[in-house]
Amino acid sequence: MRISEFQEVMRRTYLERDAGRGEDATFRWMVEEIGELARALRTGDRANLAHEFSDVLAWLTSLANLAGVDLDAAAARYADGCPKCGAVPCRCPG
Amino acid sequence: MRISEFQEVMRRTYLERDAGRGEDATFRWMVEEIGELARALRTGDRANLAHEFSDVLAWLTSLANLAGVDLDAAAARYADGCPKCGAVPCRCPG
């Protein structure tokens, strides 16, 4: 799926609800999902990992919809290598 | 860009470095970026927002690479509407 398609799917499915909830509460939901991802990584619950990654991606995308950010356009800064050093693989110091 | 392309770009650019750092340190980096996103949302630094969203997406994708999760396949559970209620728009209670 394209990033832009995923963002559109999220808009159709959740924007009305997200807008009613607001940016702060949507951010908090995303952080809850990040906690669930942390737990799945820690406990080795590999079967659940893909599920938790998709939930974090979904909430991040919902938040981008609320903030009016085009995630596909934003992601493009990584398309040609590290945005800091310009190299593939990244050669940033440290 | 496709989600799978973005994940492959991230793999080429950062996987070696991410693997050396490890899953826990990569998770911590992602959380640092989530903090920067929180700040950009709070302060109304809209010019910086797309940048911060792309950084969180990048670190989430790096973490998926380390964990061996295919983000595009994971995202597919949202493709046909809310995975919980099945509706577009979502009609989950609450």
**pLDDT tens for residues A26-45?**
999 999 999 999 999 999 88
Q: Do residues A88 and A76 lie in contact, with contact meaning Cβ atoms separated by under 8 Å?
A: no
For the cut 80, the answer to whether the pLDDT of residue A52 exceeds it is: yes
Query: What pLDDT tens digit does each residue of chain B (94 aa) get?
Result: 999 999 999 999 999 999 999 999 999 999 999 999 999 999 988 779 999 999 999 999 999 999 999 999 999 999 999 999 999 999 998 6
The secondary structure of A19-60, three-state, reads: HHHCHHHHHHHHHHHHHHHHHHHHHCCHHHHHHHHHHHHHHH
ipTM of the prediction greater than 0.85, yes or no: yes
Question: How far apart, in Å, are the Cα atoms of A50 and each of B13, B20, B50?
Answer: 22, 22, 25
Q: Structure tokens of B40?
A: 């950009």
Q: What is the mean pLDDT of chain A?
A: 95
- pLDDT given at position A94: 65
**pLDDT tens for residues A71-84?**
999 999 999 999 99
What's the gap in Å between the CA of A11 and the closest CA on chain B?
9
pLDDT category at A46 given cuts 50, 70, 90 is confident
For the cut 80, the answer to whether the pLDDT of residue A47 exceeds it is: no
Judging contacts by C-beta atoms under 8 Å, the chain B residues touching residue A44 are none
Is residue B26 packed enough to be buried (19+ CB in 10 Å), middle (13-18) or exposed (0-12)? Answer: buried
From CA B53, how far away is CA B41, in angstroms rounded?
10
Judging contacts by C-beta atoms under 8 Å, the chain A residues touching residue B10 are 78
- pLDDT given at position B44: 82
- pLDDT given at position A24: 96
Give the nearest chain A residue to B55 (CA atoms).
A75
CB < 8 Å from B in window 64-93 of A: 64, 67, 69-79, 81-82, 88-90
Judging contacts by C-beta atoms under 8 Å, the chain A residues touching residue B49 are 67, 69
